[in-house]
Structure 1
Amino acid sequence: MQTQTKNVNQVQTLLRFTYGLVPIVAGADKFLNLLTNWEQYLSPAMKRLLPFDAHIFMMLVGVIEIIAGFIVLTRPQAGGWIVSAWLLLIALTLLSSGSYLDVAVRDIVMAIGAYSLARLSARKQLTAA
């Protein structure tokens, strides 16, 4: 039982750092565009709906991602739910645009991982109480 608990804790820690640090890095990159030009993922219809420039929108998205990453690091159960929902919204947006379907599938898979983090963290919280 102790080995199983240790393994669960290791997986939860790995997921916490993954889903905490990756959104922080991706969010910061919305300001720098070193990893990619993030605006390319916005559909033309979405760009037309924005009341401001697409770059400003992506910087707002970056701030949200950075905050979500810090929430995952400090409160992994709540953060896991937030990041899972966020990734599903991104995937649904991409699917509805018919573009970047590979990224949409990747984001769905990542959302499942974030959901798993939330569930493991809830279990860990229950066993700690």
Structure 2
Amino acid sequence: MESKNSQQSLLQTLNLLKATFVIVPIVAGADKFTNLLTHWDQYLNPSIITLLPVSTSTFMMIVGVIEIIAGIIVLRKAEIGGYIVAAWLTAIALSLIIEFHYVDVAIRDLVMAISAFSMARISKFIK
């Protein structure tokens, strides 16, 4: 009985993580076009801004499309999507830490990256 309860508990955990990493990237990605939740440009590392071949708002819209696609991949294939989201969040965190810019957000993104990585690992065992 405990094995069945453990399996069900693991499945519930996976479903919660999966819902989180489908909804959050899609909502954040869509918001890159509207800036209703925040003005996303402020989170760009100032060193990166000077290297961009496009405006910051155009760059953030490209980022938004990538985030929406990542959320859809999580929906379709949580294991692959989890690794993509984990890598994406880690890259964002590192870009903020390099300039010691929004370190609180960087730490939060690293925690979310660990959660996405955990989701990917769990999904490997739950089919």
- Report TM bin, short chain: over 0.9
Deviation per CA, 1:18-61: give whole Å up to 9, x if none.
01110000000000000000000112221110011000000000
Read off the aligned partner of 1:101 and give its amino acid letter. V
**In the comparison of the two structures, how many residue pairs are matched?**
125
Distance 1:44 1:9 in 2: 42
Which ranges in structure 1 are unaligned for 5 or more consecutive residues?
none
Q: Deviations over 1:50-92 (max 9, x none)?
A: 0110000000000000000000011000000000000000000
In structure 1, C-alpha distance between the alignment counterparts of 2:54 and 2:79, rounded to whole Å: 34
The percentage of aligned residue pairs carrying the same residue is 54
Matches within 5 A, 1:94-113: 94-113=96-115
Distance in structure 1 (CA, Å) of the matches to 2:46 and 2:104 = 19
- Report the Cα distance in structure 1 between the residues aligned to 2:25 and 2:46, rounded to whole angstroms: 24
Aligned partners of 1:120, 1:44: CA distance in 2, in Å?
A: 37
**Partner SS state of residue 9, structure 1:** helix
Give the counterpart letter for 2:111 in structure 1.
Answer: V
Q: In structure 2, how many angstroms separate the alpha carbons of the residues matched to 1:37 and 1:85?
A: 23
Alignment of 1:1-129 (within 5 A): 1-125=3-127
User: Aligned equivalents of 1:44 and 1:86: distance in 2?
Assistant: 19
RMSD: 0.6
Structure-2-length-normalised TM-score: 0.96
User: Which has more helix, going by share of residues?
Assistant: 1
